[in-house]
Structure 1
Amino acid sequence: MSRNARLIYSPDYTQYYFHDDHPFNQRRLLLTHDLMSSFGILTESDILAPRIATEGELTLVHDPRYIQFVRDQGHSEKELPQAASYGLGTEDVPCFTNMHESSALIVGGTLNAVDAVMKGQTEHAFNPAGGLHHAFSGRASGFCIYNDCSVAIAYMRKHWNARVLYIDTDAHHGDGVQWSFYDDPNVLTVSMHETGKYLFPGTGNTTERGDGSGYGYSINVPLDAFTEDDSFLDIYHELVTKLVKGFKPDVILTQNGCDAHAYDPLTHLSCTMKIYQEIPRLAHRLAHEYCEGRWIAVGGGGYDIWRVVPRAWTLLWSEMSDQPLSDQPLPKEWLERWQPQSELGLPARLFDEGFPVIPRRAEITEKNRLTLERAIMYAPTGTEDTSK
């Protein structure tokens, strides 16, 4: 196989399952895997199986008492009294059977992606089940039980002493990852998200810049509601290009939540499939320019599992594996297989038809530009010392 990319995947990922009516539905992974295969850009030889992360690996970030409780709760027939204190048994994170095992499998999938890239077995790796960026050291949050992104970064810091650039383009702020490395100047966390004025978790302001020696290494760009493609990509390209130049990472980890799409039921951004081609394209190029190709991607949010997630993550994989896709009809066999199971009409093409223009477009664009200026005021952008 000539492609230097691996997909970390197993149908067992669907065991991370809250209930039928919960918005976080890992069935989206089955649809995505099938769409990649139907386009002919994924074969079995591209796939690496995940593994269950060990307790020692999880404790790089998570409190051992929390890990033990998650294990105990997942093996209990009833909700344990302490569940709420750990962020479990809530509307967002209901308890379910084998919580520990299914959550640790996702973390292990991301660690397998890290190992493959950092050991030079492949240049790029993508774990679509990963991206659970809201979980904290001792508490579940926002559909996330263990934080595979934070564990992966801590793992790279421990075993390779790597300088890690973490780029999060989920519509929700990557709070769990930010707070895990808030005082570490060797981890630059970047989050572009919808403003917390309207959306969970309510954090991610431009003033959240890091602490101590890590000041300036936490970057947040809270975008105005109803931000469209052009403004999103303008901010993204300028932000990421400057930060890579200034920070000079050893490896790039991207969290690729696709809930900034206009169809997403939980958010208020107004982007189309265009950004899900451009986001990985820039990350890919910069990984080769600055990191000898080392690029690890994970999934994240995405709650229109039928119309958005499969297309977005198929575009990511097509970029990562150097099999570019242009706008074209979705494979007939994929549509015939899944349309009977969807209450929504599936899109006919890989890219979206034109959406109505947002009336406040100019105002939103200008507001986002001002936000970017504030966000990078103290950031390592490569412009601090122009004499070098």
Structure 2
Amino acid sequence: MTLPASEALWIDCSNSKRYRFDEDHPFHPIRLRLTEELLEAIGALSERHLLKPSDAIPMEELEAVHRSDYLQIVQELSKEAPSREAVDQAARYGLEADGDTPCFPGMHEASAAVVQGSLAAAEAVMSGRSLHALHLGGGLHHAFPDRASGFCVYNDAAAAIRWMNRRYGAKVLYIDTDVHHGDGVQWCFYTDLDVFTFSIHETGKYLFPGTGFANERGANSGYGACLNVPLEPYTEDESWLACFSESLERIMRSFKPDVIVSQHGCDAHALDPLSHIHCSMNIYREIPKRIHRLAHEYTEGRWIALGGGGYEHWQVVPRAWALLWLEMTDHPLLRTIDASASGGPLPGDWPKLASPRRPSELPGNWLDDNASWAPMPRRSEITAKNKEVLEIALQHLG
């Protein structure tokens, strides 16, 4: 069945929720459940949107992205009682117990389920079943062919992109709005002219992973198919959106992709504990709106969206990801949200999820009252520096 252009598919995240390190780890699937609850509370998520991915482990697609020795060590470390040899090698592969990405029982199966969800989204869009598809369990953009990094074991975005390249010969634009540079996806396709990687993030001078500078533009035959816009700490909405919009418009005109894959980490928010960018919920309303428009203008609507980072689990992530889904489905509530500076009230019975970590105060509206926020010191200097970096970054685009 081909869905009408106003519809999108929601990739069921039940299997992706198994991707869980421990209760105190910042990358926690509670973010997915809170987002689902919010969308269910406003009647924006129903069975007709749902696509359940296969339970099979996509080894062929994993092997197309990751080295065989890495896949083997992940599988061994996923056992309840891994071998001593595997434990001794864990650090070499970024999976040490006291690191950012510690191994856990069932890690291989859970990580493969994340990849399978993003492949299902890609297949739904490329087959014409739906114009848009969203897999919030995906977006593990830091994983490398030979190691885990930054909470990411297998790189689902890279696997889905490579699958579309091979199966359909598609030119893919990858857009990464996570506050951390999308390094794993970039390096997977750094010499590939058919995949354009665009990452806008806090500068690696101060933030993990320490890469993503304006001079990273691709290499060899892939030179020019990579754009990084590293922003200054404490960048605010206006400067962030100006850099994002100008970059994206230039990329679309120059690259002319067949399909868009976007990663929607929402950790550039002022409340996020793991970064220093000072944006509000306004950018998370604008990001999907601008991508959506350009998808219909350049790619006949083909748009695959993935989750990503975001570590203010209660106050930021559910609103940001719900706004993404509302945009992908052209939900009528957007008219109310866009008509008010506050975006209008959130449902009074949200969230229902019981947790000892639940904050005493939760946001009451879709958007932030950032007019009441104290302006950042050095705002003009930060804006000028971002503009200067943007001009350098864009030099190689037509």
State whether TM-score is above 0.5.
yes
For 2:39 and 2:213, locate their aligned partners in 1 and report how far apart those are by CA, in whole Å.
36
Describe the SS at the equivalent of 1:278.
helix
Residue 369 of structure 1 aligns with which residue?
387
The 1:136/1:344 distance shift into structure 2, 3 A limit, reads farther
Asked whether the equivalents of residues 253 and 297 of structure 1 are also in contact (C-alpha less than 8 Å), the reply is yes
Residue 340 of structure 2 aligns with which residue?
none
- 1:293 maps to a residue whose letter is G
What do residues 287-339 of structure 1 show as CA deviations (whole Å, max 9, x unaligned)? 11110100000010000111010000000000001104301211111145558
1:350 to 359, 366, 373: 366
Asked whether the equivalents of residues 228 and 270 of structure 1 are also in contact (C-alpha less than 8 Å), the reply is yes
Q: Note if 1:80 corresponds to 2:87.
A: yes
Unpaired stretches in structure 1, ≥5 consecutive residues: none
Residue 210 of structure 1 aligns with which residue?
218
Q: Note if 1:47 corresponds to 2:50.
A: yes
Residue 378 of structure 1 aligns with which residue?
396
The 1:345/1:197 distance shift into structure 2, 3 A limit, reads same
Shift of residue 273, structure 1, vs aligned partner: 0.5
Q: Note if 1:223 corresponds to 2:231.
A: yes
The 1:340/1:71 distance shift into structure 2, 3 A limit, reads closer
Residue 296 of structure 2 aligns with which residue?
288
Shift of residue 146, structure 1, vs aligned partner: 0.2
Residue 100 of structure 1 aligns with which residue?
108
The 1:162/1:343 distance shift into structure 2, 3 A limit, reads same
Describe the SS at the equivalent of 1:11.
coil
What do residues 354-375 of structure 1 show as CA deviations (whole Å, max 9, x unaligned)? 2221121111111101111111
Q: Which shifted more, 204-213 or 52-61? A: 52-61
For 2:213 and 2:13, locate their aligned partners in 1 and report how far apart those are by CA, in whole Å.
36
Asked whether the equivalents of residues 16 and 117 of structure 2 are also in contact (C-alpha less than 8 Å), the reply is no
1:244 to 252, 266, 269: 252
For 1:234 and 1:139, locate their aligned partners in 2 and report how far apart those are by CA, in whole Å.
35
Residue 26 of structure 1 aligns with which residue?
29
Asked whether the equivalents of residues 306 and 344 of structure 1 are also in contact (C-alpha less than 8 Å), the reply is no
For 2:71 and 2:356, locate their aligned partners in 1 and report how far apart those are by CA, in whole Å.
40
Unpaired stretches in structure 2, ≥5 consecutive residues: 338-342
Asked whether the equivalents of residues 53 and 116 of structure 2 are also in contact (C-alpha less than 8 Å), the reply is yes
Residue 329 of structure 1 aligns with which residue?
345
- 1:39 maps to a residue whose letter is I
Aligned Cα RMSD in Å? 1.4
Shift of residue 190, structure 1, vs aligned partner: 0.4
Shift of residue 93, structure 1, vs aligned partner: 0.6
- 1:69 maps to a residue whose letter is I
Asked whether the equivalents of residues 50 and 106 of structure 1 are also in contact (C-alpha less than 8 Å), the reply is no
Shift of residue 186, structure 1, vs aligned partner: 0.9
Q: Note if 1:360 corresponds to 2:368.
A: no
Residue 287 of structure 2 aligns with which residue?
279
Shift of residue 28, structure 1, vs aligned partner: 0.5
Q: Note if 1:171 corresponds to 2:172.
A: no
Identity of matched residues, %: 51
For 1:350 and 1:339, locate their aligned partners in 2 and report how far apart those are by CA, in whole Å.
22
Residue 147 of structure 2 aligns with which residue?
139
What do residues 208-239 of structure 1 show as CA deviations (whole Å, max 9, x unaligned)? 11101111111100000000000000111111
Asked whether the equivalents of residues 13 and 135 of structure 2 are also in contact (C-alpha less than 8 Å), the reply is no
After the TM superposition, which segments of 4 or more aligned residues of structure 1 sit over 6 Å from their partners? none
For 2:382 and 2:302, locate their aligned partners in 1 and report how far apart those are by CA, in whole Å.
34
Aligned residue-pair number: 380
- 2:88 maps to a residue whose letter is P
Map 1:104-115 → 2, pairs under 5 A: 104-115=112-123
Asked whether the equivalents of residues 32 and 309 of structure 1 are also in contact (C-alpha less than 8 Å), the reply is yes
Q: Which shifted more, 76-85 or 62-71? A: 76-85
Describe the SS at the equivalent of 2:289.
helix
Asked whether the equivalents of residues 18 and 110 of structure 2 are also in contact (C-alpha less than 8 Å), the reply is yes
Asked whether the equivalents of residues 261 and 272 of structure 1 are also in contact (C-alpha less than 8 Å), the reply is yes
TM-score of the two chains, using structure 1 as the length reference: 0.95
2:20 to 8, 17, 20: 17
The 1:77/1:339 distance shift into structure 2, 3 A limit, reads closer
For 2:24 and 2:351, locate their aligned partners in 1 and report how far apart those are by CA, in whole Å.
23
Asked whether the equivalents of residues 252 and 296 of structure 1 are also in contact (C-alpha less than 8 Å), the reply is yes
Describe the SS at the equivalent of 2:15.
helix
